[in-house]
Amino acid sequence: MYRAAVIGLGRMGSTFDDEITRGGSIFLPYCHAPSYVASPHTELVAGADLHAEQGAIFAERWGLTGEQIYGDHREMLAAERPDFVSICTTARHRAAIIEDAIQAGVKAIWAEKPIALSLAEADAIVELSTRNGVAIAVNCSRRYSPFLSEARRMAREGELGELLQITAYAECHLSHNGSHAIDTMRYLVDGDVDWVFGEMESDEEAAGEEDLKGNGYLAFDNGVRGFIRAMPTGTAQWEFDLIGTEGRVRSLANGADTQFYRWVPGGLRDEGLPARAPFPLPLSIQGTGLTVIADLVDAMETSSEPRCSAEDGRKALEIAIALRESHRQGGRRVDLPVADRSLRILSVEIGGDAVPARVRRLQQEPAAA
């Protein structure tokens, strides 16, 4: 049993699972605290948050005492000496807290996304974690989807033939939830991006550092080409379309439906027809958070990389920045890695982050109703 602690005791740290009332592509436990409680690998021993109210809710919910809740994460790290630490704070402070956790001697970190605001911060995290042998899993959780993992297996084992294209439809800000979309594209094609073209919402938006929506063309090092639409997508809600010469997998409606197509005899001049075939379903499905923890345990005990590593988190941020830089340069091609490491995107989640996200959401619900 590894000792686990959570820094940032709000929605993703503790209560996000309470919002899931219907089945879909999220399998519980999903967020951090309930996953640590349910996992056979971990014992939840502490939490830290600047907001006392969130600490009190966390302690009552997960059976901790007041002495196990801290207002200062550094104090908690020193006193509790956890093996595992989840970092679920606003992205404004995430990179600094990751560095604090590494310096405190933790063995594994499960961090929310984006991993940092700037490329320089992301570089520092990757270098420090590598030097200290600390496994970091970034919560781009679609890598842990049993359906997308199966699609990747099919692609890697040649069941789709030669991969040609990956298309993502995901209305989102390119750094915040764009981390999910960009990372999923990299995961499915098992490749790195060499260069991009990008189109942002407007010249004015692209000129600043705020998180923004956009579209892009991605050239992967294995010959696959990718398209991402992060501007409004209409009825194509968080969909991925992976196309090969011999097969195709489509993840539709935010993962609620996964389709597989392959060639069958027929068609004009008997050249063949693409026909839908049963998608191979997993034998069992465990909670997403349990999969992340098991992945981190394996990475920690075998000195391997987690399924979504700090390096993967850095590359998602870098691709988002490169797409914006392409627009800034009049739609020119931008090669990766990006030369200017001071570039950053101020993730949309940091807006109003003086108030916890859980509280902001509760305040917005009456207005939405």
Which of 350, 358, 321 has the alpha carbon at shortest distance from 91? Answer: 350
- Asked which of 124, 142, 160 is the last residue of a domain, the reply is 142
State yes or no: pLDDT of 364 exceeds 90: no
Residues 152 and 92 in one domain: no
Residues 177 and 110 in one domain: no
Residues 160 and 136 in one domain: no
Phi first, then psi, for residue 200 (nearest 5°) are -100, 175
pTM of the model: 0.96
- Report the CATH number that the domain containing residue 285 is assigned in CATH: 3.30.360.10
Residue 369: its pLDDT value, please?
Answer: 45
Residues 136 and 151 in one domain: no
For 176-202, how does the pLDDT look when each residue is reduced to its tens digit (9 = 90+)? 999 999 999 999 999 999 999 999 999
Strands (DSSP E) found in the chain: 2-7, 42-48, 69-70, 84-87, 108-111, 135-138, 163-169, 193-200, 214-220, 225-229, 239-244, 247-252, 257-264, 273-277, 334-335
Residues 265 and 179 in one domain: yes
Across the beta sheet with 84-87, what order do the strands follow? 69-70, 42-48, 2-7, 84-87, 108-111, 135-138
Please give the angle made by the CA atoms of 306, 163 and 186, to the nearest 5 degrees. Answer: 30
Residues 55 and 202 in one domain: no
Please give the angle made by the CA atoms of 183, 186 and 188, to the nearest 5 degrees. Answer: 105
- Asked which of 142, 166, 187 is the last residue of a domain, the reply is 142
Question: If DSSP codes are grouped into helix, strand and coil, which group holds residue 19?
Answer: helix
Residues 119 and 166 in one domain: no
Residues 213 and 263 in one domain: yes
**What's the number of domains the chain is made of?**
2
Cα 124 to Cα 257: distance, rounded to the nearest angstrom: 39
Of 16-30, 287-301, 352-366, which range is least confident?
Answer: 352-366
**Strand partners for 7:** 48, 87
211 within some domain: yes
Residues 58 and 166 in one domain: no
Residues 47 and 154 in one domain: no
Tokens encoding 289: 């958070």
Residues 270 and 318 in one domain: yes
The residue segments making up the domain with residue 21 are 2-142
- Report the CATH number that the domain containing residue 127 is assigned in CATH: 3.40.50.720
